[in-house]
Amino acid sequence: MQLPPLGLYIHLPWCQRKCPYCDFNSHERDNMPERKYADTLTQDLAAELGLIQEREIKTIFIGGGTPSLFSANTIARLLEYISNLSTLAADVEVTMESNPGSAEADKFCRLYEAGVNRLSLGIQTFDNTLLKTLGRIHTSEEALAAIESAHAAGFDNLNLDLMHGLPGQTARHARSDLMQAITAAPQHLSWYQLTIEPNTVFHNRPPALPKENALADIQDCGEDVLKRYGYKQYEISAYSRSGFDCRHNLNYWTFGDYLGIGAGAHGKITFPDGRIARYSKRRQPDAYMSNYTMVGKRTLSADDTVAEFMMNALRLDRGFTLADFTSRTGLASCILDKHLDSLQTRELLTVNTGVVSTTALGRRFLNTVLAEFS
C-alpha cells in the first residue's frame, strides 16, 4: 500500500477573547505560557516522528485559537526546529492563522521571513455592527489595514475567512462583504455559513438568523459573484484563484495523513501494513503541557474508513476516483457499489469513468449522501 502525503498541524489554543459562535478548542489568554508551550510542542513533535517512516512533510498549518498572539520569534524558532528535525518538501506550504488586529499585523514581515508563506486572516465580515454582534475585537478598518500589511510583507498567498448568514444579513449585505474582500485581492476565500454549535454562547442565547429562503438567496448570490471574479469553488466553503487551493486542507479532504501536535490536536497516520490510526491530544493546555502523549488512539475498521473517506472526499467539487479510494484506504472499490447505485438512482451522485462526485442536488443534501456510508 502506497503511503499518502503527510502534513503537520500545530494547535496554539489561546485567543484574546472567546467568540460567542466558536466551538473550537480555544481559551482566553491569561498569562499565556508561551515559552513552556512552545517547548512542549517540540517535545511532542520529536516523539511523533517515529510514526511517519521518514516521509517528508508537505504542508504545515498553524491554527488556533489565534496563533499570531505568539511572538514572531517563537514561531520562527518553532519552524526552525521542525526544519532541523524532519524533512520538509522543497515547496512546503506553511499556513498560519491570524486575526487582523494591529498588534498581529506588525508581525507579518517577521513571520514571512521565518518561513510562513500562506497567511489566513479571520475577517468574518467587514460590517462593524455585525463584528460587534459576533464578538470580534477588530474593526473593518483594521481588517483592511491588516490585508494591506500582509501584501506589503510579501504574502502572495493570502486567505480571508468570511461568514455569511449572519444576523439580519441579506443577499445584498453578503454581496457587499464579498466585494470588499475581492477588492483586497486575496488568492483564496473561505466563505462559509454561520451555524449555531453546541457549547457556545450563541447556542444558549441564539441570535435571529436569516430564514432558509434568505440563506439560499445569499448562497446563490455569493457563488455567482465569486465565479464572476475568478474564484473557483473547489470545496463546500473554499474558493481560490488558479493554483491557490489550500494544499493542507486538500490533504485532509483526499484522506492524506497528518501529525497533530498541541492541545486538542488530532492526527491520522497510515502504516505500511495498511492500518490507519487516528489519535488526539489532551484538550486543556495545562494537561497537555504536563503530558503530551496521545489519547483516544484507535485503529479504523473498514466501515469507519469508508465513512471517514466519504465525509472528506465528497466535500470536494471534483469528488474522487475509485482508484484513489483504493489507494488511500487499502479497500476494494467494489464494496461501494450498492451505495453508489442507490445514490445515483436518487440523482445525488454521478459515477463517470471511475470518477465519483455529487450532483448539484447531492451537494445541497450532502448529509443525506454521507448517511448512506455511515
CATH number at residue 331: 1.10.10.920
Tell me: pLDDT of 211 over 80.
yes
Bridge partners (DSSP) of residue 267 are 279
Among 169, 168, 211, 206, CA closest to 191 = 169
Summarize the confidence of residues 50-60 as an average pLDDT.
90
Domain coverage including residue 13:
6-251
* DSSP conformation letters of 293-355: S-EEEEEPPHHHHHHHHHHHHTTBTT-EEHHHHHHHH-S-GGGGHHHHHHHHHTTSEEEETTE
pLDDT of res. 102: 67
Helix (H, G, I), strand (E, B), or coil: what is residue 122? strand
Do 61 and 150 belong together in one domain? Answer: yes
User: How sure is the predictor about 129, in pLDDT bands with cuts at 50, 70 and 90?
Assistant: very high
Tell me: pLDDT of 220 over 90.
yes
Residue 258 belongs to a domain: no
Residue 52: all three cell numbers together: 511517519
Q: How many domains does the chain have?
A: 2
Residue 289 belongs to a domain: no
Do 308 and 238 belong together in one domain? Answer: no
Summarize the confidence of residues 13-24 as an average pLDDT.
91
User: Which of 191, 225, 251 is the C-terminal boundary of a domain?
Assistant: 251
Edge to edge, the sheet with strand 349-352 lists 320-321, 355-358, 349-352
User: Which of 222, 251, 280 is the C-terminal boundary of a domain?
Assistant: 251
Tell me: pLDDT of 1 over 80.
no
pLDDT of res. 214: 95
Residue 120 belongs to a domain: yes
Choice among 4-13, 27-36, 314-323 with the minimum mean pLDDT: 27-36
Do 51 and 168 belong together in one domain? Answer: yes
The mean pLDDT of the chain is 95
User: How sure is the predictor about 101, in pLDDT bands with cuts at 50, 70 and 90?
Assistant: confident
Q: Is the model more confident about 54 or about 89?
A: 89
Do 241 and 307 belong together in one domain? Answer: no
Tell me: pLDDT of 155 over 70.
yes
User: How sure is the predictor about 325, in pLDDT bands with cuts at 50, 70 and 90?
Assistant: very high
Tell me: pLDDT of 53 over 90.
no
Backbone angles phi, psi at 355, to 5 degrees: -105, 125
Do 199 and 338 belong together in one domain? Answer: no
User: Which of 233, 251, 269 is the C-terminal boundary of a domain?
Assistant: 251
Q: Which amino acid is present at 286?
A: D
Residue 306 belongs to a domain: yes
Do 240 and 352 belong together in one domain? Answer: no
Do 199 and 305 belong together in one domain? Answer: no
pLDDT of res. 332: 96
User: How sure is the predictor about 31, in pLDDT bands with cuts at 50, 70 and 90?
Assistant: confident
Summarize the confidence of residues 281-301 as an average pLDDT.
96
Do 219 and 306 belong together in one domain? Answer: no
Contact predicate 374/307, CB 8 Å: yes
User: How sure is the predictor about 287, in pLDDT bands with cuts at 50, 70 and 90?
Assistant: very high
Residue 197 belongs to a domain: yes
- Give the domain CATH number at 105: 3.20.20.70
Summarize the confidence of residues 170-184 as an average pLDDT.
96
Do 326 and 218 belong together in one domain? Answer: no
Residue 296 belongs to a domain: no
Residue 118 belongs to a domain: yes
Do 109 and 200 belong together in one domain? Answer: yes
Do 201 and 343 belong together in one domain? Answer: no
Tell me: pLDDT of 106 over 90.
no
Tell me: pLDDT of 27 over 90.
no
Residue 13: all three cell numbers together: 489554543
Q: Which amino acid is present at 250?
A: L
Do 218 and 349 belong together in one domain? Answer: no
Residue 278 belongs to a domain: no
pLDDT of res. 169: 95
Summarize the confidence of residues 228-244 as an average pLDDT.
97
